[in-house]
C-alpha cells in the first residue's frame, strides 16, 4: 500500500513538472513573476 501511495506521489510530482514546463514554453499563460496579472492579461488579448 505504501509503495502505491509513494508511486502516485512521485508520478504526480513528475506530471506537475511536465505540465508546468509545457505551459511555460507552449502555453499562453505565463506565470512565475510578480506581474502575473500582466501575463494573464496578455494571454487574453
Partner 1 sequence: MKKVGLFGNPNTGKSSLFNRLTGLKQRVGNFPGVTVDKQLGNLKFGDETVQIIDFPGTYSIYPRSKDEQVVYKVISNPSHADYPDLAIVVVDASNLERNLLLFSQIYDLGIPTVLVLNLTDVASKNGLVINLDQLHVHFPNTTIVRSNARVGLGMKELQEAIAVLNDSEKTPNTTESIPLVAMDDLIAQSADTTTRFERIKRIVADVVVKKENPVSQHFSSKLDRWLVHPILGYVIFFSVLLVIFQTVFSLASYPMDWIDMGFANLAEWTAATLPEGLFSRLLTEGIIPGIGGVLIFIPQIGLLFFLISILEETGYMARVVFIMDKLMRPFGLNGKSVVPLISSAACAIPGVMATRTIQSWNERLTTILVAPLMSCSARIPVYTLLIALVIPDQQIWGFLNLQGLVLFGLYALGLVTALLVALVIKQFFRKSSERSVFLLELPAYKAPRWANVGLEVFQKVKLFVLDAGKIILAISIILWALASFGPGDDMEKAAAAVIAPETENPIAVAAYEDQVAATKLQHSYMGILGKTIEPVIKPLGYDWKMGISLLTSFAAREVFVGSLATIYSVHQESDDPKPLIDRLRNEKYLNGKPVYTLASGVSLLVFYAFAMQCMATLAVVKRETKSWKWPLIQLGYMGVLAYLGAFIAYQLLK
Which residues in this chain contact partner 1 in the complex, by CB under 8 A?
A: 2-3, 5-6, 9-10, 13-14, 16-17, 20-21, 24-25, 30-35, 37-38, 41-42, 44-45
DSSP-derived letter for residue 33 is: S
Write out the three cell numbers for 19: 505540465
| Helix, strand, coil content of the chain in percent (nearest 5) | 75, 0, 25
User: Distance (Å, rounded) from C-alpha 1 to C-alpha 11?
Assistant: 15
Smallest distance from the beta carbon of 6 to partner 1, in angstroms? 5
Q: How far is the CB of 14 from partner 1 (least distance, A)?
A: 6
Q: Name the minimum Å distance from CB 31 to partner 1.
A: 7
Amino acid at each position: 500500500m505504501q509503495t502505491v501511495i509513494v508511486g502516485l506521489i512521485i508520478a504526480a510530482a513528475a506530471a506537475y513538472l511536465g505540465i508546468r514546463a509545457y505551459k511555460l514554453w507552449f502555453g499562453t499563460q505565463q506565470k512565475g513573476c510578480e506581474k502575473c496579472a500582466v501575463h494573464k492579461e496578455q494571454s487574453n488579448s
